[in-house]
Structure 1
Amino acid sequence: MEPVNIGVLGASTFALEQTAPAIHAARGARLAALATSSAAKAEPFTAFAPDLVVHLDYDAMLADPAIEAVYVPLPNHLHVEWTLKALEAGKHVLTEKPIAMAAPEIDALIEARDRTGLFASEAYMIVHHPQWQRVRALLDEGAIGTLRHVDSVFSFDLRDPGNIRNRPETGGGSIPDIGVYTYGSARWAARSEPVALSSRIRRENGVDVWAQVTGTMAGASGEFSYCALTSTRLYPRQEVTFQGEDGMIRVTAPFNAGLAGEAQVHVTQGDTLRIERFPAVRQYVLEFESLVATLRAGADFPWTLEDARGTQAMIDLVRAGEV
């Protein structure tokens, strides 16, 4: 089987530290090219991928016939533009989350995907991790009875005003950056959608730095209460809890598995606690191996543009529901 030649559009720190090495390590994938406006930014990439082709122009990489798929880790406000350009250039494309700044923008991506017949999706890596696949399976089988409440927290402290997460013009803020996890994980794992939401949001320099969301969601087993907190001004913390009538599921290190601690699923049923551990799983590697399986074997990719649109619609509701 020929490897999937993947080009990275933009030499971001995140790509350097996380996703480019994951492409390099993924079975069936080949880190083939990098597009960057700075040759100096390419040097750390070529240190671990010496055969990497460096394009000093984004359009030049999209025109490279050797590149089959493009990974886009650009700042949030550029995601839609370059996803569309990649599709129009005949490339499959995987774009970092959030893939858009508002849900209707994703309609154009869906149209372009369907018209071109190419693959396009959002790089929502947690659904590739066996930790979250296990949580979804437990909820599906009714392991904790009827789901009644979900609470989710994701916070870290980032005060650098120059960071793109703190700049409104690049789509910064805790809601798009990490709310995509607290909201999207509940939607995916519990197969649910929001019914009504209200939010309290604190902003600095035009971006939200603290957002508390409460409300109601509904899934196959009915409605449940929902509470989420995201912040880029608090001590680091991440945890998700699903509470049912007969038990509880607690998810540790749910979003940065390995970096924020060991990925675990704590299942409480009555007086019994069972801890399932997922050490040394590289979820970004699994994400790109899933991409390979989709492109080479026609496997289902576990996160679609429609899934991304649903989470973005929830983000839009959070903003609209501010009190």
Structure 2
Amino acid sequence: MARGRRAVLGAMMGAPLAARAAELSAIPLALTMGTGQPGGGFSVYGQAWGQAAQKSARISVSYRASGGSAANVLLVEQNAAQLGLVVLAVANQAWAGRGTWTSGVKLQGFRALFPICGASLQIFAPARSRIRRLRDLAGKVIGVGPAGGAGAVLAPEALAAAGIRPRLAIEGLYGEQIDLLHRGQLDACAFFGITPLPSVREAAARGGFNLIGFAHDEIVAAARALPGIGAAVIGRHTLPHLSAAVATIGSEAIAIGAASLPRSIAGVLTTTAMQHRTDLLRDLPGSGPARLGPGWIDHSSPVPFHPGAAVALRASGLGVPDALIRG
């Protein structure tokens, strides 16, 4: 970035949002966002956020339909994208260099921008099968969603922590794996994403599936093994034909930006998302924006906030401690 452009962007940090948007319109900006595959929530949310940014701040956003959370972290690390959507538990692994997908390398070239909504592990099996509880998945063949997605990264580890080892955990596109489930070539699917994932909602509408829940001790075991994972509930009204709420594990879906993202840009993007929190989830029926009470930040997470995003979050009334901000 040219020195003159940096100076303009720096000056914009103190300006009101409307003024910043006007100044941004004079600067050609094109950002790439890592989202996800069709059938997942990130592909829907990412485009809604990008379109809102284009409208409010004239920031042009293109999209990379990656596998999901882990793939998006890698895109940002490689400077192939400046923005991404991830599940916090995956972001925690990246920052700490945990999980087999990181190969022990600490991936710290990204920063948190803002919370989006809850995400959860959504496991379902044909109603005709004998799979009713989590332990029934032992020795079975399960689909975990796209390679590089949160399901592919977290589902096998969560099940292993609960003492359950499927025979195979196969990666693949959401729709293809649901078709394989219909044909009996998979025993169950275990997808992790925004609650509920569009593909899971569509499968539930067709009927013939049972949602598989976690027992309390299984939730505790998974949470102990995977930082950023906690108890979650898939509400009765979240999915068609669901007769009762189902206990599972979950994490927060968040937006990330490259550490090198100018503070003004991170601020405008965060402000846009916070001002349109509900609208951006409109095309994801059953989901809802993150709860932003006094304890909204997971202080156990090592992932810091982008300074520009922190300014915008504070302007929205959310407390972001200085210790959790890193340039």
Q: Same fold (TM over 0.5)?
A: no
Normalising by structure 1, what TM-score?
0.32
Structure showing greater relative contact order (alpha-carbon pairs closer than 8 Å, 6 or more residues apart): 2
Higher strand residue share: 1
